[in-house]
Structure 1
Amino acid sequence: MNSKVIRLILFGVAAYVLFVFLVISFYPDKPENMDWQDREEYNKVQITKLRLGTTREEVLARLGSPDITEAKMDSSVAIQVMFYRTQHVRADGLTTQDECTPLLFENEQLIAWGEGAYQSYLKS
Structure 2
Amino acid sequence: MNSKVIKLILFGVASYAVLAFLLIAFYPDKPENMDWQDREEYNKVQISKLELGITRAEVLALLGAPDITEAKMQGSREIQVMFYRTQHVRADGLTTQDECTPLLFENEALVAWGEGAYQTYLSS
**TM-score bracket, shorter-length normalisation:** over 0.9
Is structure 2 residue 81 aligned with structure 1 residue 81? yes
C-alpha displacement at 1:65, in angstroms?
Answer: 0.3
For 1:116 and 1:89, the matched residues in 2 are separated by: 19
Q: Which residues of 2 match residues 59-70 of structure 1 at below 5 A?
A: 59-70=59-70
C-alpha displacement at 1:111, in angstroms?
Answer: 0.6
For 1:88 and 1:123, the matched residues in 2 are separated by: 27
Task: Name the % identity.
Answer: 82
Following TM superposition, where does structure 1 have runs of at least 4 consecutive aligned residues deviating by more than 6 angstroms? none
Q: Which amino acid aligns with 2:44?
A: K
For 1:22 and 1:58, the matched residues in 2 are separated by: 26
Q: Which residues of 2 match residues 1-124 of structure 1 at below 5 A?
A: 1-124=1-124
Q: Which amino acid aligns with 2:24?
A: I
Alpha carbon RMSD of aligned pairs, Å? 0.8
- Give CA-to-partner distance per residue, 1:19-75, whole Å, 9 cap, x none: 000111111111111111111111101100111011101100110000000001111
Q: Secondary structure at the match of 1:119?
A: helix
For 2:55 and 2:84, the matched residues in 1 are separated by: 16
For 2:104 and 2:121, the matched residues in 1 are separated by: 7
Q: Which amino acid aligns with 1:108?
A: E
Q: Which amino acid aligns with 1:105?
A: F
TM-score of the superposition, structure 2-length normalised?
Answer: 0.97
- Give CA-to-partner distance per residue, 1:2-22, whole Å, 9 cap, x none: 322221111111100000001
Q: Which amino acid aligns with 1:31?
A: P
For 1:93 and 1:10, the matched residues in 2 are separated by: 46
